[in-house]
Amino acid sequence: MPSTLSDLERPHAPATAARNPGGVDRRPFRDNPRLILLGICILLAALVAMVTLADRWSAEVNPSFLTEVVLYAVSAADLTMLLALGFVLARNIIKLAVERRRGLPFSRFRAKLVGALLGLTIIPALLVLLVGGELIRSSTQKWVSQPVDAVLGSAKQIAGEYYREREEIVASQAAGLARALPAGALRNGDAGGIRRIIETEVTQGRMRRIDVYVLTEGGGPVSLVAAQSPTLPRHDLRVFTDRFAARVAAGTASVAHETLDGGGGIVQAGSVVAEPGTGQPLGVVIATDHLTGELAREARRIVDAYEDYTRLRVLLPPLQGMYLSLFLMMTLMILVSATWMGLYLAKRITRPVHMLAEGAREIGAGHLDHRIEPETRDEFGSLIEAFNSMAAELATGQRKLERSRLDLERKNLQLEDRRRYIETVLERIATGVVSIGADGRVETINGSALRLLGVDRGVVGTEAAEIFEREDLKPLGGLLRQARTGSAPAVGHEITLAREGRDVHLAAAVTPLRRDDGGHEGAVLVFDDVTPLIRTQRVAAWRDVARRLAHEIKNPLTPIQLCAERMRRHFGAAPAPVRDLVEECTSTIVGEVESLKDLVDEFAQFARMPAPKAVPTDLHRMLADALALYNGLFQAIRIETRFDPTLPLVRIDAEQMRRVIINLVDNAVEALGGSSASAAPGRLVPLVVIETQHDPASGVARFTVADNGPGISAADRDKLFMPYYSTKRRGSGLGLAIVRRIVVEHGGSIEVHDNAPHGTRFVIEVPL
Amino acid sequence: MLIRAASCALLLLAAQALVSAVQAIHVTPLVRDGRIYVSFKLSEAFDNDDIRAAIHSGLTITFLYDIELRRGAAAWIDRTLDAATVSAGVQFDNLARRYHVSLSVDGRLEDTAILEREDRARRWLTEFERLNLFRSDRLEPNIEYYVRVRARTTPRNASFVWPWRGTDVAGLAKFTFLR
C-alpha cells in the first residue's frame, strides 16, 4: 500500500520481466513464423530428396552400398525418429499428467487438445503406413515373376549355348591344328612351314586368327607365328593372347573371351601341341574367332537383362526394406510433426489464456501495474491488449481511490484532531457540556459538567433521565424533558442547584439535535456556573450602594458633630445635672459620629478601590515585612512561615497584596482568640501558618494562610466574601470582600477550605 | 524359480549357437618362423541356395572374413592382439559361365583368377591355406591364444526394420604358444 500520494503517482516497475536482459530479445522457435516456415520447407525438401534418391538408388546404387550403408542409415534414422517420437510423447504425457495432478490451469484442456490432434493424426498415419507398406511389398513382389524368370532364363540359356557352341568350334579348330602341326617344325622353329598351315585355316575363314607358341625349357610359351584375317577388327590382342597361352600351357584354362573396343568380342581356345609318342608338350596353338558386334551385343543384352533380373530378385528384400523404411520415415516425420504441431497449437492457444489467467490473478492480488506482453498480433494479442487497457484503467481508478482514501484519511485525522481539540477545549472550559444521544443516554460529558453536576465518568452510557432524577439535578432534568418535547427555551435558562448547602447558579441551555427529516437525534446540554458572576454583580451593586451611602451619610455627619460640640460648649456653664446630661449626650453623639465616619471611610475605600499597579515583587520579602507588624503582639499565638525557595518574582501590587495578607492574618489571629488566646496544656498551640508554593505547571504562585482555630461552617463559607457579611460582632463585613476584589483584580483567585485537622485555610493563587 | 529356469534356457540356447558357429568354420593356426599362419575353411557355404543365386545373378559377391588373434581373459572380455580382414570376391559371367575371383588381405589385392568350375570357385571363396596374417613375436610363451574367424557376405540379404544381424558364421581354434 502506498504511504504517500507521491508513491501513487510513481508507476511501479513493469510486472513482465524482460526475457533477455542485457541482450537482444530472442524469440523462441515456436513463436517465430519464419523459422517454422523454414522448418516445414526443410522437412518437405528432405521428403522430396528421399523420394528422388530412393527412385535413383533402386537403379544406380551399388548393392553393397545399399545393404551396407543406405539401409542401415535409413533404419537408424527410423529408429531415431521413433525414439524422438516416443520421447516427445512420453515427455508430454508425463508433463500433462503432472500438470493435471497439480491442478495447473488448462492442463486438462491441453491434454484434450493434444490427444485429439494426436488421435486425428496417428490413426490415419498408421493406416496409411500399413496400407502403403503392403502396397510396396506387393508391388515389389511383382517385379519378379515366374514367366519373366522363365523367359529370361531361356534367353540366357540360348545366348550361353551359342557362346558354348562357338567355344566348342574354336576349341575343335585349335585341337585340330595342334594335331596337324608337325612336331619337327615346331621343335625347329620353322615359322614358315607353320605359317602356311595356319594361313590356310585363316584364309579359308575357319578361324579369324591363329597363334602358335613354342614352349621353352623352364619358361613360358613364346610366340612363334600368328596369322590374322583382315576381317578381324583391329585390336591389340597380343597381351591377352600371350597371357591366355600361358594359362593353356599351365593347364588352367582352355577357353577365353575378350571384348573388343569397337563392339563384339572374341572367343579363344587353346590346345597344347605334344610330341608324338612321348606326349611331351612342344607348343601351344591359340585359335581366335570373332563374334560380330550385333550378335555379341544382343547376347550381352540378354545376359545383362537376366543378371539385372536376378540381381533384383536377390536384392528384393533390402530394396523392400529400404522403401518401407523410407515410407516409415515419412510416417514418423508426419507423426513427429503432428505431435509437435499439436503441442505447439495447444501451447499457442493455452499460453495467452494462461497468461491472462495469471494476469487476472495478479490483478486480483492487487498488483494493478501487472502487464502482459503480447506475443502475437492476432486475436489473442488484441485480447491481451484489452486486458492491459483494463488493468491500466483499474490502476488509474485504484490510484484515484487511493488518493481519495488518503484525502479521507487526512480529513479523518483533521476531524480527529479537531475532535481532540474540542474535547480538550471542552475539558478545559468552565462550561459544562453534556451530549445525549437519540436513545436518551449520555454520550459525552466534559470535566466541568462532571464537577458542576457532581457525577463521575461512569455516567457515560447511562440514561440521562436516571442521572437527572437526582434531587439536586431535577431542574436540569426538567429542562431536558422540555427540550425533547420541543418546549425548552432556546436561550440560556438560569437554574439554581443546591450543593452542600450552597447555591450553585447555572445558566443552562439545551439544544435539541434534529435529523434532516426532523427526527429527534439527541440533545446537547450546556451550562455555565454563573455563581461568581452573580457574586460580582452583587459586589458591584454593593459598591454602588456603598458609594451612595458614603456620600449621603458622610455629608451630614460633620454638621452633626459640630452641633453636638457647640451644644456641649453652650451648656458648659449650665448647672451640673444639665451639663452632665449634655456632656453625656454630646459625647455619645460625637462617638457615634466618629464610628459612622470610620464606617463611611471603609465604604468609600471599598467603593473606590484603585486598579492594582503590578510590578515584579519579591513575595517572600513582602510577606516578611507584613508579618513583622505582629512581632511581640500576641504571646500565645505562633506565626510560622514556610516559604518555597524556588518561587520567582511575582507581578503584584505590593501595597494591596500586603493589605490582603494583614487582613487574612488579622482574621486568623482573631479566630484564635487574639490577645486573649492562650495555649492551655493538652490543647493545640494556636498557630498561623503562611506558606508559599511555586506551581510552574499552572504558572501560578500560591500562598496560603492557615490557622488551627474553630474554622468556618460550610454555610458561611460561600457568603464569606460578600460585602457586609461578617461573623464578628464589630465587623463591617468588607474585609474579605476587599481581599477577594484585590486578588481578582490581580488575575488570581482565592478559595477557602477547611484546615486539617482544625481551622481554616485560605489559598490565594496569582499568576507569575 | 521362473527367472532361474529362463536363465538356464537362455544359456543352453547360447551354447548351442556357439557350437553351431564353431562348427561352421574350421580354423587351423600354425606358428612358424615368427609368423602365425591361419588356414580356415567355411563349410557348406555353397549349399545355401541364396548364396548360389546371388553369385549366379552376376552380382559381385564378397566373402568377408574377420580374423582375430585373441587371448582369453578369465573375468573380462578377451583381448584382441591382432586382426586382419580377408575378402574373397566373385563375379559370375553368365555368358561365358566363368567365375572371376579375387583375393584381398586387409584391402590389398593378393590374387585374381577366372575359374570355369563352380567347385574351384567355391574353394577359392571358402578355403584358405596358410594365410600369413600375424606375427608371433608378441605372443607370450605357454599361454593359450585363439584365432577367431567370423564370416559374412556382402551385399547382405538384410530385412526391413532391423537390418542388423550378428555374424553369420564363426569359428575359432585355440593354441598354446611354445617358443
Q: Report how far residue A478's alpha carbon sits from residue A488's, in angstroms, rounded to the nearest whole number.
A: 9
Give the three-class secondary structure for A696.
coil
Contacts of A412 (CB under 8 A, 6+ apart): none
Give the three-class secondary structure for A734.
coil
Bond into B155 cis (ω within 30)? yes
Closest-CA residue in chain B for A66? B155
**Residue carrying the nine cell digits 461568581:** A532
Interchain contact B161–A (C-beta under 8 A): yes
| Cβ–Cβ below 8 Å for B57 and A310 | yes
Residue with more model confidence, A96 or A152:
A152
Give pLDDT, residue A13. 38
Give pLDDT, residue A60. 60
Name the residue facing B95 among A300, A311, A313 (closest C-beta).
Answer: A300
Contact predicate A371/A388, CB 8 Å: yes
The residues pairing with B92 across neighbouring beta strands, listed in sequence order, are B99
| pLDDT grade for B20, boundaries at 50, 70 and 90 | very low
Name the residue facing A75 among B62, B93, B162 (closest C-beta).
Answer: B162
| Cβ–Cβ below 8 Å for A306 and B94 | yes
Contact predicate A565/A586, CB 8 Å: yes
| Cβ–Cβ below 8 Å for A68 and B156 | yes
Greatest mean pLDDT range, A85-89, A100-104, A687-691: A687-691
Give pLDDT, residue B12. 34
Interchain contact B111–A (C-beta under 8 A): no
Average pLDDT, chain A: 81
Contacts of A308 (CB under 8 A, 6+ apart): none
Give pLDDT, residue B5. 38
Q: Taking the CA of residue A410 as centre, how many other CA atoms within 13 Å lie in the half-sphere pointing to its CB?
A: 9
Give pLDDT, residue B66. 93
Judged by average pLDDT, the poorest of A488-492, A587-591, B77-81 is A488-492
| Cβ–Cβ below 8 Å for A317 and B157 | yes
The letter for the amino acid at B177 is F
Q: Report how far residue A616's alpha carbon sits from residue A636's, in angstroms, rounded to the nearest whole number.
A: 35
| pLDDT grade for A86, boundaries at 50, 70 and 90 | confident
Mean pLDDT, residues A354-358: 83
Q: At residue A691, does pLDDT exceed 90?
A: yes
The residues pairing with B32 across neighbouring beta strands, listed in sequence order, are B35
Which of B48, B55, B56, B57 has the highest number of chain A CBs within 10 A, making it the mutation to test binding with A? B57
Q: At residue B103, does pLDDT exceed 90?
A: yes
Mean pLDDT, residues A116-123: 79
Contact predicate A585/A531, CB 8 Å: no
Q: From A419, A458, A416, select the one nearest A441 (Cα to Cα).
A: A458
Q: Report how far residue A675's alpha carbon sits from residue A469's, in angstroms, rounded to the nearest whole number.
A: 52
Contact predicate A266/A291, CB 8 Å: yes
- Where would I find the H helices in A723-765? 735-745
Closest-CA residue in chain A for B114? A253
Mean pLDDT, residues B100-114: 92
Name the residue facing B160 among A64, A253, A325 (closest C-beta).
Answer: A325
Name the residue facing B95 among A78, A160, A320 (closest C-beta).
Answer: A160
Q: Report how far residue B169's alpha carbon sits from residue B171's, in angstroms, rounded to the nearest whole number.
A: 7
Q: How far apart are the first and last CA of chain A?
A: 51
Average pLDDT, chain B: 80
Q: Report how far residue B61's alpha carbon sits from residue A230's, in angstroms, rounded to the nearest whole number.
A: 40
Interchain contact B163–A (C-beta under 8 A): yes
In chain A, residues with a C-beta closer than 8 Å to the C-beta of B155 are 63-64, 66-68, 314-315, 318
Contact predicate A357/A104, CB 8 Å: no
The letter for the amino acid at A738 is I
Which of B91, B94, B111, B162 has the highest number of chain A CBs within 10 A, making it the mutation to test binding with A? B94
In chain B, residues with a C-beta closer than 8 Å to the C-beta of A152 are none
Chain B closest CA to A300's CA: distance in Å? 7
Contact predicate A321/B158, CB 8 Å: yes
Q: Report how far residue A494's alpha carbon sits from residue A503's, in angstroms, rounded to the nearest whole number.
A: 12
The letter for the amino acid at A453 is L
Q: From A735, A615, A718, A612, select the one nearest A668 (Cα to Cα).
A: A735
Q: Report how far residue A405's alpha carbon sits from residue A211's, in angstroms, rounded to the nearest whole number.
A: 126
Q: At residue A170, does pLDDT exceed 50?
A: yes
Interchain contact B58–A (C-beta under 8 A): yes
Residue with more model confidence, A314 or A696:
A696
Name the residue facing A321 among B50, B94, B160 (closest C-beta).
Answer: B160
Q: From A101, A90, A96, A126, select the one nearest A112 (Cα to Cα).
A: A96
Name the residue facing B59 among A164, A300, A314 (closest C-beta).
Answer: A314
In chain B, residues with a C-beta closer than 8 Å to the C-beta of A324 are 160-161
Chain A closest CA to B137's CA: distance in Å? 36
Pairing label, strands B25-32, B143-154: unpaired
Size of interface A-B (CB pairs under 8 A): 93
Name the residue facing A67 among B57, B94, B155 (closest C-beta).
Answer: B155
Q: How is residue A20 annotated by DSSP?
A: S
Give pLDDT, residue B166. 55
Give pLDDT, residue B98. 87
Judged by average pLDDT, the poorest of A334-338, A527-531, A700-704 is A334-338
Give pLDDT, residue B67. 94
Q: At residue A428, does pLDDT exceed 90?
A: no
Mean pLDDT, residues A642-659: 91
Give pLDDT, residue A19. 40
| Cβ–Cβ below 8 Å for A160 and B94 | yes
A402 backbone dihedrals φ, ψ, rounded to 5°: -65, -40
In chain A, residues with a C-beta closer than 8 Å to the C-beta of B157 are 67, 314, 317-318
Q: At residue A749, does pLDDT exceed 70?
A: yes
The residues pairing with B164 across neighbouring beta strands, listed in sequence order, are none
Q: Report how far residue A529's alpha carbon sits from residue A507's, in angstroms, rounded to the nearest whole number.
A: 7
Contact predicate A229/A244, CB 8 Å: no
SS3 of A664-692: the string is: HHHHHHHHCCHHHCCCCCCCCCCEEEEEE
Q: How far is CA A682 from the centre of its chain?
A: 86
Strands ordered across the beta sheet of B108-115 = B108-115, B98-105, B79-93, B61-71, B143-154, B169-177
| pLDDT grade for A645, boundaries at 50, 70 and 90 | very high
Q: Report how far residue A545's alpha carbon sits from residue A550's, in angstroms, rounded to the nearest whole number.
A: 8
B63 backbone dihedrals φ, ψ, rounded to 5°: -95, 115
Q: Report how far residue A411's alpha carbon sits from residue A420's, in angstroms, rounded to the nearest whole number.
A: 14
Closest-CA residue in chain A for B94? A303
Mean pLDDT, residues A304-309: 85
The letter for the amino acid at A715 is A
The residues pairing with A704 across neighbouring beta strands, listed in sequence order, are A691, A763
Contacts of B9 (CB under 8 A, 6+ apart): none
| Cβ–Cβ below 8 Å for A68 and B154 | yes
Q: What are the grid coordinates assigned to B58, written together?
A: 552376376
Mean pLDDT, residues A620-634: 88
Mean pLDDT, residues B25-41: 92
Contact predicate B103/B88, CB 8 Å: yes
Contacts of A236 (CB under 8 A, 6+ apart): none
In chain A, residues with a C-beta closer than 8 Å to the C-beta of B60 are 64
Interchain contact B62–A (C-beta under 8 A): yes
Q: Report how far residue A84's alpha carbon sits from residue A94's, in angstroms, rounded to the nearest whole number.
A: 15
Give pLDDT, residue B90. 93
Contacts of A282 (CB under 8 A, 6+ apart): A183, A186, A187, A214, A215, A273, A274, A275
Provide the whole-model pTM: 0.50
Give pLDDT, residue B21. 42
| pLDDT grade for A147, boundaries at 50, 70 and 90 | confident
B156 backbone dihedrals φ, ψ, rounded to 5°: -90, 155
Q: At residue A758, does pLDDT exceed 70?
A: yes
